[in-house]
Structure 1
Amino acid sequence: MANSIYQINKGINKSIEFKGLRAQYIWYFAAGVLVLLILFAAMYMLGVNSILCVLIILLAGTGLVIKVYALSNKYGEHGMMKAIARRSIPHVVKSNSRKVFIKKEEKDGKETTRNNA
């Protein structure tokens, strides 16, 4: 058998992963870093002491990293979307009247229910 000079990409249809973060959590992390960058610039322009700015951003950045990795480990690739969807489904559907389920038909100017016709 001849060895091929081309490598086969075996990562097809796998989600992207960066340093243990998967799928949408990479985007959450990037958005958080961007917000921290803007926050640092705003504090610096307002005249806050630079060391204080750096300390605040370091603490917030540490919290961001911990939170994003915790979400990634807890929910996995699609788990958070499933959890949000599960919360939006009502637990119970209540109806105090059957009028919603009975279809009315008009015959000769009179309203009658389907069962009476």
Structure 2
Amino acid sequence: MEYNVNKGIGKSVEFRGLKSQYLFIFAGGLLSVFVVFIIMYMIGIGQWICIGFGLVAASVLVWFTFRLNARYGEHGLMKIMAKSRHPRYLINRRDARRLFRCPKRKEATHA
């Protein structure tokens, strides 16, 4: 018997050049554009205005997502979000001598 070996194990998910988190941005964005399109149409806004909005918004979303993918790469957005959570600098208001002093040990009491 022959078994096919899946060579894609361990690789990130990719669709037409979009990798990992950009796929979620792309799919979520298209879903939200569709929902807004439906809401606009149900409210009573003109059909051609809704179609124009949908085409323009979807085109901007596709362009923006591929631009982010090309600019930041596979893990770039996660790195940017992690960097924004780090403090810019640390403030230490303790006396410098206190930083280098060994902590006092508590002596054990014998009962």
TM-score by length of 1: 0.76
C-alpha RMSD of the superposition: 2.2
Partner of 1:38: 35
Partner of 1:98: 94
Offset of 1:30 from its aligned partner?
Answer: 0.7
Separation in structure 2 between the aligned mates of residue 41 and residue 91 of structure 1, nearest angstrom: 44
Point out where structure 2 has 5 or more consecutive residues left out of the alignment.
105-111
Matched residue count? 100
Offset of 1:83 from its aligned partner?
Answer: 1.5
Q: Is 2:23 aligned against 1:26?
A: yes
Which SS does the other structure have where 1:84 is aligned?
A: helix
Structure having the higher strand fraction is 1
Point out where structure 1 has 5 or more consecutive residues left out of the alignment.
103-112
Separation in structure 2 between the aligned mates of residue 87 and residue 48 of structure 1, nearest angstrom: 40
| 1:64-75 correspondence to structure 2 within 5 Å | 64-75=61-72
Q: Which amino acid aligns with 1:98?
A: R
Q: Considering only CA atoms, is the larger Rg found in Structure 1 or Structure 2?
A: 1
Offset of 1:5 from its aligned partner?
Answer: 3.1
Structure having the higher helix fraction is 2
Partner of 2:77: 80
Q: Is 2:13 aligned against 1:7?
A: no
Tell me which of the two structures has the higher relative contact order, counting C-alpha pairs closer than 8 angstroms and 6 or more residues apart. 2
| Identical residues among aligned pairs (%) | 39
TM-score by length of 2: 0.80
